[in-house]
Structure 1
């Protein structure tokens, strides 16, 4: 059996169920692999300052955040990659013209183009965001991630083609109008590759679980990539394995198939 060293877990729709809870089987699976010496990473589009409590709850100190723009290993920074201020300005101009809302993430806060609209209030509630401020251009130089809200099905085309960037739909019920803005060279897969390089490990000893299209590169960057049963329909082609849904012990069942939990 392969001596696995790292486990990368998406958060929303992978660890967290639609009602923002964690199944007992998921907690058990994470604890079991940790006891076997596997380093567990939260690999998410979320800002790291907003998952502190989740990390403490699961005894996790390593992260790939902001869709791969920032990584930490056992509490220590590995790298940060900020977005180009000109691209930010371009995207915000388009958003304003079409009544789209936006949130820009730094390493310490979430900056919304406005905070009072129903769309933004729902976004804050769904993702339990607490460190929220109103955006100002002075923050452009330290933006690690960006999400657009209130988009109709064809609206992503308004932002394309933007060389070096693409939009990825958020795979959560009632949040399908939201799209993460992701640098082509920066994604969860890039983050995992950086982590594995830092640790001197091959992809074959790494495992990942995800449910959204922002997870596709991640699932290709490990030896054992699992798409959750509730995953985006287009994600399954990128995964080596398909496990059960987040509400049906998806992480536990996937790890059990590898002989890592019982």
Structure 2
């Protein structure tokens, strides 16, 4: 199918409801988008194994995950970035010196270096299972993203790891990727593909890792529950995710 536009959707606080699920209204809207020549693409800090049911329920087969570290288009992997083992080891050492643990991500699995109270709290916020504990698994498996499990110490990570980018999207964790990696960078990579050059883009988000997403898109839509600063850079502020905000915005732009 030939598309005339791309629509990028954050998940938590955006496409998902308060229970981190896809409502029937959202599923219908995504189907209408595709019928109208608009390709819906998930753009999230989560990885693929966390969103299998979400993709199925939404009828979406393309995604930017781990804040842009991995891209799949129509079921086919088109891009990924890998954090090398030496950097992972150094990062884990700093985390441990602060009494914190780290989760390691690739598109197929998640594992953590150890158990802390913040581990359970971080995953409970997004209604996800706690990952397996495997302290040395990063030495044999590829890593696309790290997740700091802690409520403080952000400044030290920023000082000691200029080669990394940090997104604190919740009280208990910090998404960590290679410097320059973002949802927005992933959008630009897709727009460099011949089949997508010149297409109109729509970005939907609510959190700190959505600034780059909105910046990269022609139409920047912030949810009614978004950070105030994100609303300031948006070209349109829709209703909250729990109040039909996605459908409201799609109708506003005559996409459905």
TM-score, length of structure 1 as denominator length: 0.87
For the Cα contact (< 8 Å) 1:4–1:38, is it kept in 2? yes
Specify the alignment match of 2:49 in structure 1.
49
Distance 1:235 1:144, change over 3 A: same
Aligned residue for 2:154? 156
Q: How does 1:112-261 map to 2 (within 5 A)?
A: 112-115=112-115, 117-130=116-129, 132-140=131-139, 142-152=142-152, 155-161=153-159, 162-170=161-169, 175-202=170-197, 205-261=200-256
Whether the 8 Å CA contact 1:204–1:224 is kept in 2: the answer is no
Deviation of the 1:84 alpha carbon = 3.3
Is the partner of 2:193 in helix, strand or coil? helix
* C-alpha distance in structure 1 between counterparts of 2:14 and 2:239, whole Å: 10
Give 5+ residue unaligned stretches, structure 1: none
Instruction: Quote how far apart the aligned CAs of 1:101 are.
Output: 2.5
- The RMSD of aligned alpha carbons is 2.1
Aligned residue in 1 for 2:70: 70
Higher mean C-alpha deviation, range 18-27 or range 70-79: 18-27
State the alpha-carbon separation in 1 of the partners of residues 100 and 130 from structure 2: 21
SS at match of 1:6: strand
Moved more, 123-132 or 65-74: 123-132
Contact in 1 for aligned 2:62/2:73 (Cα 8 Å): yes
Separation in 2, partners of 1:124, 1:217: 24
Shift of the 169–220 alpha-carbon distance from structure 1 to 2, 3 Å rule, reads same
Give the 3 Å change call, closer, same or farther, for CA 19–5 of structure 1 in structure 2: same
Contact 2:20-2:127 within 8 A present in 1 as well: no
Query: Distance between the aligned counterparts of 1:123 and 1:177, measured in 2?
Result: 5
Q: Structure 2 vs 1, CA of residues 204 and 225 (structure 1 numbering), >3 Å: closer, same or farther?
A: farther
| 1:260 CA displacement | 1.3
Structure 1's 180 and 203: CA in aligned 2 closer, same or farther, altered over 3 A?
Answer: farther
1:114-173 deviations in whole A, cap 9, x for unaligned?
A: 24x332223333334458322344525611111112223xx2101122223232111xxx
Q: Number of aligned residue pairs: give it.
A: 252
Unaligned regions of 5+ residues in structure 2, if any? none
Task: Please tell me whether the aligned partners of residues 202 and 219 of structure 2 are also in contact (alpha carbons under 8 angstroms).
Answer: yes
Partners of 1:178 and 1:233 in 2: CA distance: 21
Once the two structures are superposed, residues 1-30 of structure 1 have per-residue CA deviations (whole angstroms, 9 ceiling, x without a partner) of xx8421111111111123223344433322
Name which of structure 1's ranges 13-22 and 126-135 shifts more when overlaid on structure 2: 126-135
**Separation (CA, whole Å) in 2 of partners of 1:85 and 1:237:** 39
